[in-house]
């Protein structure tokens, strides 16, 4: 008969564990522990506590900050997962010094760091500067769009949300009417699908109606830069619908300004706007403020190289770069078409020969244009500005364009019902776009701009893939911004660890 080692689950075992010995020098947990204990200023948290004479002792903010940073570094974005790790993972147990804060304590701590998060981020940045991890000559700006703790189903303009409320109210009335009819029947079914389920459904819909009614009373409609109303969201009105490679999400656009030397994040901020045309000024000003807190002057960015992708090519961003004296390289969306290196690139679909301005006949007496089909385009009162040029706009009648046989060859309208003809009549005095296009198209520009990919892309790959940040768990711009800056801190602390922090 085979012989096996005996075992007994009732036996008791004494395991001598030194918590300090679990935090080995050279590891990320050691760097987090040492930085929080010796370099990060956490006294600001103490003002929130009023238990010096009465009340229960609170968890030390240093302990909570350590386990949150390590949790985010290990891909544990949920406070419940961090709570579980503090009970089961020996490294988390050592970092928490045997304490086991629950998930509500951890979540409340993260949500309440509005005033403390930026000073903590700057303290980590100071350590990066002391370790000579900042090059200070080449910077890249990029963003990462992530869903937040909000539902797309509760998005819409004010009128759309009002109609949604009315539809829910109609549905409630129908269910109540069916409920009354079934009450008058003798053969009422029991179990699932009976009157009890319908009553629960009515209660759920009534709560949704009340929620919408309350939101409509307390909130005003949101408007974009053009003055047109944009979608609001009942669960998180600071978030926005954004198009991404993963589909349309309801979330935030997380921005990071990165130093090229060792890919250290200089500043981070989350915006509830999927378009990057206006993110340059707040990001550059935020990075400048961070550097001033480290002892640098206001002219730190003067003559430094700054790169960003085509989404940032806007008059707002270009003006800010000029104001700060940056040597910026931000291409427009057509820059590859002008690049001779792509001239021989084959296209899968041949370009359709479209009409150009010369194909339209101008009638000077009436200041109208006639299209190749003989239809009239009338002049709009407002002028338009695009690509540094001043345009006069002429618009066709909707019914003329709807069934036109030359529609496929006409001006690009992107699904619009009317076609607009742009006639250039002048050049803006400050033609930033044209100047930037010439700069990026130069031989030096074609050498500098591609370096952006090696600076920015690995940072977001580290945060999204290695740290597994695929969504924000909080609501509201303030709280989401706290979570994003914590991840930026983790990224920078990892750089500190990799370059020999002791």
Residue matched to tokens 């390289």: 329
Query: pTM (2 decimals)?
Result: 0.84
Same domain flag for 171 and 46: no
Is 213 inside any structural domain? yes
Same domain flag for 267 and 386: no
Task: Quickly count: other Cβ atoms within 10 Å of residue 412's Cβ.
Answer: 10
**Which residues share a beta bridge with 254?**
144, 270
**H-run or E-run covering 222:** strand 222-223
pLDDT of residue 381: 66
Q: What whole-number distance in Å separates Cα of residue 269 and Cα of residue 284?
A: 11
Is 268 inside any structural domain? yes
Same domain flag for 246 and 142: yes
pLDDT of the chain along its 502 residues, tens only? 789 898 899 988 888 888 989 999 999 999 999 999 999 999 999 888 888 888 889 999 999 999 999 999 999 999 999 999 999 999 999 999 999 999 999 999 999 999 999 999 999 999 999 999 999 999 999 999 999 999 888 999 999 999 999 999 999 888 888 877 777 765 555 555 555 677 888 889 999 999 999 999 999 888 887 778 889 999 999 999 999 888 899 999 999 999 999 999 999 999 999 999 999 999 999 999 999 999 999 999 999 999 999 999 998 999 999 999 999 999 998 888 888 877 776 655 555 577 888 888 888 888 888 888 888 888 886 666 665 567 788 888 888 887 788 877 787 655 566 677 777 765 554 568 888 988 999 999 999 999 999 999 999 999 999 999 999 999 999 999 999 999 999 999 999 999 987 6
pLDDT of residue 373: 85
What phi and psi values does residue 132 have, to the nearest 5 degrees? 60, 40
Instruction: Please list the helix, strand and coil fractions of the chain in percent, rounded to the nearest 5, in that order.
Output: 45, 15, 40
Q: Residue 340 has which token pair?
A: 């001779």
Q: C-alpha 25: how far from its chain's center?
A: 34
Same domain flag for 420 and 464: no
Same domain flag for 162 and 144: no
Same domain flag for 215 and 256: no
- Identify whether the C-beta of residue 98 lies closer than 8 Å to the C-beta of residue 466: no
- Identify whether the C-beta of residue 307 lies closer than 8 Å to the C-beta of residue 141: yes
Same domain flag for 89 and 171: no
pLDDT of residue 389: 67
Q: Residue 37 has which token pair?
A: 């204990």
Cβ burial 448-478 (10 Å sphere, 16+ → b, else e): bbeebeebbeebbebbeeebebeebbbbbbe
Same domain flag for 166 and 143: no
Q: What whole-number distance in Å separates Cα of residue 447 and Cα of residue 451?
A: 7
Q: Residue 485 to residues 121, 267, 270, 275: CA-CA distances in angstroms? A: 7, 8, 9, 20
Provide the domain limits for residue 207: 158-186+193-220
Domain count, the chain: 4
Q: Residue 202 to residues 120, 164, 196, 394: CA-CA distances in angstroms? A: 48, 16, 10, 53
Supply the DSSP symbol for 466: I
Same domain flag for 30 and 106: yes
Same domain flag for 142 and 271: yes
Please state whether beta strands 247-259 and 240-244 pair in parallel, antiparallel, or not at all (unpaired): antiparallel
pLDDT of residue 429: 43
- Identify whether the C-beta of residue 38 lies closer than 8 Å to the C-beta of residue 106: no
Supply the DSSP symbol for 344: T
Is 441 inside any structural domain? no
Q: C-alpha 399: how far from its chain's center?
A: 41
Q: What is the DSSP string of 180-194?
A: HHHHT-SS---STTS
Same domain flag for 420 and 382: yes
Same domain flag for 138 and 278: yes
């Amino acid at each position: 008969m085979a012989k096996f080692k005996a075992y007994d689950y009732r036996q008791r075992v004494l395991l001598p564990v030194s918590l300090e010995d679990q935090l080995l020098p050279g590891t990320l947990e050691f760097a987090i522990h040492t930085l929080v204990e010796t370099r990060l200023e956490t006294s600001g948290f103490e003002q929130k506590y009023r238990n010096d004479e009465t009340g229960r002792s609170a968890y030390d903010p240093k302990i909570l900050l350590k386990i949150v940073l390590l949790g985010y570094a290990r891909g544990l974005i949920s406070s419940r997962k961090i709570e579980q790790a503090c009970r089961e993972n020996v490294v988390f147990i050592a970092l928490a010094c045997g304490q086991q804060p629950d998930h509500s304590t951890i979540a409340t701590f993260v949500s309440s760091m509005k005033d403390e998060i930026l000073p903590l981020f700057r303290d980590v940045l100071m350590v990066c500067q002391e370790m000579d991890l900042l090059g200070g000559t080449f910077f890249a700006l990029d963003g990462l769009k992530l869903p937040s703790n909000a539902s797309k189903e509760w998005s819409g303009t004010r009128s759309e949300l009002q109609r949604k409320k009315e539809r829910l109210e109609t549905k409630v009335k129908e269910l109540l009417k069916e409920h009354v009819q079934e009450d008058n029947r003798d053969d009422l079914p029991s179990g699932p699908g009976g009157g009890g389920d319908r009553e629960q459904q009515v209660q759920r819909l009534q709560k949704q109606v009340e929620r919408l009614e309350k939101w409509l009373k307390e909130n005003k409609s949101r408007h974009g830069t053009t003055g047109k109303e944009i979608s609001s969201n009942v669960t998180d009105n600071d978030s926005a619908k954004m198009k991404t490679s993963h589909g349309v999400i309801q979330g935030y656009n997380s921005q990071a300004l990165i130093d090229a030397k060792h890919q250290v994040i200089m500043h981070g901020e989350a915006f509830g706007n999927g378009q990057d045309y206006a993110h340059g000024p707040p990001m550059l000003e935020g990075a400048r403020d961070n550097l001033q807190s480290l002892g640098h002057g206001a002219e730190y960015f003067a003559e430094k190289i700054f790169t960003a992708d085509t989404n940032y090519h806007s008059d707002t961003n270009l003006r800010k770069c000029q104001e700060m004296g940056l040597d910026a390289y931000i291409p427009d969306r057509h820059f590859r078409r002008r690049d001779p290196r792509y001239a021989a690139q084959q296209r899968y679909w041949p370009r359709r020969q479209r009409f150009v301005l010369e194909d339209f006949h101008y009638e000077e007496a009436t200041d109208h244009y006639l299209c190749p089909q003989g239809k009239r385009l009338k002049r709009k009162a407002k002028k338009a500005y695009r690509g540094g040029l001043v345009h006069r706009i002429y618009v066709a009648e909707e019914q003329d364009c709807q069934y036109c046989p030359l529609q496929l060859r006409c001006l690009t309208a992107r699904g619009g019902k009317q076609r607009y003809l742009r006639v250039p009549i002048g050049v803006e005095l400050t033609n930033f776009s044209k100047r930037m296009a010439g700069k990026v198209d130069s031989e030096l520009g074609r050498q500098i701009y591609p370096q952006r990919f090696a600076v920015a892309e690995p940072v977001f790959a580290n945060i999204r893939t290695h740290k597994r940040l695929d969504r924000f768990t909080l609501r509201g711009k303030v709280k989401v911004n706290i979570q994003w800056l914590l991840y930026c801190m983790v990224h920078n602390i990892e750089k500190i660890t990799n370059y020999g922090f002791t």
